[in-house]
């Protein structure tokens, strides 16, 4: 018999009560706790029977003998899909989100850093903001400036999506600030308005032809441009609140902590897990639904943000499976709406 066919109203009430209590306390939930805290109108013995049935169905687990029950990954999934009631943010919280985005922010990177900080602050979990997809971005400006009293220079590249990238590289002693200014001018003339994936050889040959005396330096710079704007990945990752997840009781074990920290260091893994659900809208992946190493005991919740109806990135968070899902969803929806409005200024 399928789970849906076995889940009568009382089992649903018991499961919802256990999930909600475990989210709040982090302690296994017993029948007496349910009887005392939740007015289900039945005895503790009846609750025990329902809990046994829910465990048999795979919705609950018993961490050790004589303990109460905790939700399984499947139990959380059923709760999220079938039982969870929405939680509205207070008027003050919504106003607070609006105020944070009303600050004067001059770059998309600044907006996304603020977004990760805000989500982490409002949920007490680890927040991730994925930068706008660069697939169709064009180069707006290149600038190369010498770093004083060194044999190094700073390359700054700005794209049409407002992303600012920079690298420091080594130059030979005979390169003057005037040389760098001229190279900047030639690069801007030839590359401005060109799609990042379309830096073709013909364009590069034109650049080399104009600056024949510094061909090797120009090649280094154009290689750097392609590397930082195209080859390193389409989206930047903005992370905030790593310490939040480490403060959860589920992650007191040092080996587990090391696994999670190692996961956060792998930007490619972060991109994969936060882009694992294609398309737009809200996505929730619980426990072992997350296939990346080190986060099988975590939940990942993501939501897309858009400009002029086009999805350009995602915001999300990572926390224990014992996550306050109703609040998390409300926070992400409010933040994504405000983020989408805030980014419109950069796409006019």
Higher-pLDDT residue of 323 and 311 is 323
For the residues 234-260, what does the mean pLDDT come to?
84
Q: Which ranges in the chain are annotated with CATH 1.10.10.10?
A: 3-83
List the CATH code of the domain at 91-131+236-347: 3.30.450.40
Confidence of residue 348 (pLDDT cuts 50, 70, 90): low
pLDDT tens digits for range 185-210: 998 988 887 765 666 665 777 888 88
Q: Give CATH 3.30.390.60 domain extents, the chain.
A: 139-231
Q: Residue 2: its pLDDT value, please? A: 59
User: Is the confidence at residue 1, as pLDDT, over 60?
Assistant: no
> What pLDDT does 141 receive?
87
What average pLDDT is seen over the chain? Answer: 87
Residue 334, classed as helix, strand or coil, is helix
Over 80: is that where the pLDDT of 66 sits? no
Percent of the chain with pLDDT over 70: 91
Between 81 and 105, the higher pLDDT residue: 81
pLDDT over 90 (residue 255): no
CATH 3.30.450.40 domain locations along the chain: 91-131+236-347
Q: What is the mean pLDDT of residues 131-145?
A: 77
pLDDT at res. 192: 83
- Asked if residue 136 has pLDDT above 60, the reply is no
Q: Which residue has the higher pLDDT, 230 or 341?
A: 341
Residues in a beta bridge with 317 = 127, 301
For residues 150 and 284, the model is more confident at 284
pLDDT at 89 over 70: yes
Does the pLDDT at position 258 exceed 60? yes
For residue 149, give both structure tokens: 């009293």
**pLDDT score, position 134:** 61
Give the mean model confidence (pLDDT) for residues 23-39.
91
Q: Which CATH topology does 139-231 take?
A: Enolase-like; domain 1 (3.30.390)
pLDDT band of 105, cuts 50, 70, 90: confident
Whether pLDDT at 132 is above 80 = no
Q: What is the mean pLDDT of residues 165-180?
A: 88
What pLDDT does residue 212 have?
A: 82
In the prediction, which pLDDT does 331 show? 97
Task: Give the torsion through C-alpha atoms of 289, 339, 261, 25, to 10 deg.
Answer: -70
Task: Report pLDDT digits (tens) over 160-170.
Answer: 766 777 889 99
Q: How confident is the model at residue 347 (pLDDT cuts 50, 70, 90)?
A: low
The per-residue pLDDT for 61 is: 94
Q: What is the mean pLDDT of residues 122-129?
A: 95
pLDDT category at 135 given cuts 50, 70, 90 is low
Sequence-ordered alpha helix ranges (H) in 102-241: 108-123, 177-191, 201-210, 215-226
| CATH number 3.40.50.2300 is the correct assignment for the domain at 3-83 | no
Q: CA-CA distance, 342 to 212, in Å (whole number)?
A: 44
């Amino acid at each position: 018999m399928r789970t849906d066919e076995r889940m009568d109203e009382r089992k649903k009430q018991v499961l919802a009560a256990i999930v909600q209590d475990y989210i709040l306390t982090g302690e296994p939930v017993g029948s007496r706790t349910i009887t005392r805290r939740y007015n289900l109108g039945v005895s503790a013995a009846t609750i025990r029977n329902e809990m046994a049935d829910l465990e048999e169905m795979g919705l609950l687990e018993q961490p050790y003998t004589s303990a109460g029950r905790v939700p399984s990954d499947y139990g959380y999934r059923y709760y999220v899909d079938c039982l969870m009631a929405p939680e509205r943010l207070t008027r003050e919280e919504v106003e607070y989100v609006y105020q944070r985005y009303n600050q004067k922010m001059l770059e998309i990177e600044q907006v996304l850093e603020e977004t990760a900080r805000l989500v982490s602050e409002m949920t007490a979990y680890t927040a991730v903001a994925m930068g706008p997809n660069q697939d169709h971005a064009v180069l707006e400006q290149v600038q190369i400036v010498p770093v004083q009293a060194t044999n190094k220079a700073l390359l700054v590249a700005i794209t049409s999506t407002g992303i600012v990238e920079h690298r420091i590289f080594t130059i030979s002693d005979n390169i003057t600030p005037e040389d760098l200014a001229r190279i900047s001018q030639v690069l801007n003339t030839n590359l401005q308005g060109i799609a990042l994936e379309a830096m073709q050889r013909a364009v590069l040959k034109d650049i080399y032809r104009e600056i024949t005396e510094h061909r090797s330096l120009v090649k280094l710079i154009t290689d750097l441009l392609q590397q930082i704007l195209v080859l390193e990945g389409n989206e930047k990752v903005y992370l905030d609140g790593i310490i939040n997840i480490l403060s959860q009781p589920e992650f007191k074990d040092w080996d587990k902590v090391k696994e999670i920290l190692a996961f956060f260091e792998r930007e490619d893994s972060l991109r994969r897990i936060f882009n694992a659900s294609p398309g737009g809208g809200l996505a929730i992946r619980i426990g072992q639904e997350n296939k990346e190493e080190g986060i099988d005991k975590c939940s990942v919740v993501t939501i897309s943000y858009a400009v002029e109806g086009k999805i350009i990135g995602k915001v999300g968070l990572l926390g224990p499976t014992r996550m306050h899902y109703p609040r998390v969803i409300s926070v992400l929806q409010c933040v994504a709406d405000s983020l989408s409005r805030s980014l419109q200024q950069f796409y006019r």
